[in-house]
Amino acid sequence: MPHKDPAKRREYNSRYKSSNLDRVRALNLAYKNRHKDEIHLSSQEYYQLHKDEINQKRREAYASNPEIRQRKYETGAIWRKANLLRFNELHRSFTRRRKLQILEAYGDHCGCCGETSFEFLSIDHINGGGTKERKQLFDGKRQGGFQYYSYLWKQHKETGEWPGGLQVLCHNCNMAKGFYGTCPHQSEWQAIVNL
C-alpha cells in the first residue's frame, strides 16, 4: 500500500525490506543483471564527473580507519582468487593503458628510428644511468618494466610534470645504444649527412 507521507513510506519500505530480505536481494540482482551495461556505464560516467570528490572521500576514510583498506584488500584477494582469468585480463589492460599514456607523454615513437608499435617501445634515459636510478628507487632491486612506469605516473601526478632526461626508444635502438654507446641508425644517417 503506497503512503503519501514520505516518512511513513520509508518506514513501510524498510520494514518490507527487512522481512523480505531474500526476495528484495533477488529482485535487485535480477535488475542489475538486466541492466548491467547501463549501470556499468552510468557508474563510470558518475565516477568521471565526481572523481576528485570520490577519491578525496576515499583517502579521508582510509586515513581515519586503516581497517577499511585491509578489508578492501581482503575482499579483493578473495575476488582475485575466484576470478583469476578475469583479473589477469583486467590487469593486462590496465598496465597496457598506463604504458601507452606514458609513452604518449614522451613522444609515442622511437626517437631514433621512428618505430611506432607500442610493443617495441620503452623509456630510455638519454644520458644513461637508468639501472642505477632504478636500484635507488626500488630498494636495491633492479626493478624494471611496470614499476618504473608507475613511478613516472606518480611523479607526474604529484608534481604536474613528467620527469626529465627521458625519451622513447624502441628496444632495438635502446639495446644498440646500451651495448655500443650509439645506435647504428645514427651513424648511417650521419654518414649520409656527411656525403
Percentages (nearest 5) of helix, strand, coil residues in the chain: 75, 5, 20
Q: Where are the beta strands (DSSP E) in 112-164?
A: 121-125
- How far apart are alpha carbons 107 and 159 in whole angstroms? 19
Q: What is the DSSP letter of 167?
A: E
Q: Which three cell numbers stand for residue 94?
A: 590496465
Question: Which residue's CB is nearer to Zn ion, number 103 or number 112?
Answer: 112
Question: Which residue's CB is nearer to Zn ion, number 122 or number 152?
Answer: 122
Question: C-beta of 191: minimal distance to Zn ion in Å?
Answer: 14
Question: C-beta of 106: minimal distance to Zn ion in Å?
Answer: 14
Question: Which residue's CB is nearer to Zn ion, number 143 or number 167?
Answer: 167
SS3 state at 168:
strand
Strands 166-170 and 121-125: antiparallel
Question: C-beta of 129: minimal distance to Zn ion in Å?
Answer: 20
Q: Which three cell numbers stand for residue 130?
A: 637508468
Question: C-beta of 112: minimal distance to Zn ion in Å?
Answer: 3
Burial environment of residue 100 by CB neighbours within 10 A (0 to 12, 13 to 18, 19 or more) = middle
Question: Which residue's CB is nearer to Zn ion, number 103 or number 173?
Answer: 173
Question: Which residue's CB is nearer to Zn ion, number 80 or number 185?
Answer: 185
Question: C-beta of 123: minimal distance to Zn ion in Å?
Answer: 13
Binding site for Zn ion (CB under 5 A): 110, 112-113, 115, 170, 173, 183, 185
- How far apart are alpha carbons 142 and 100 in whole angstroms? 22
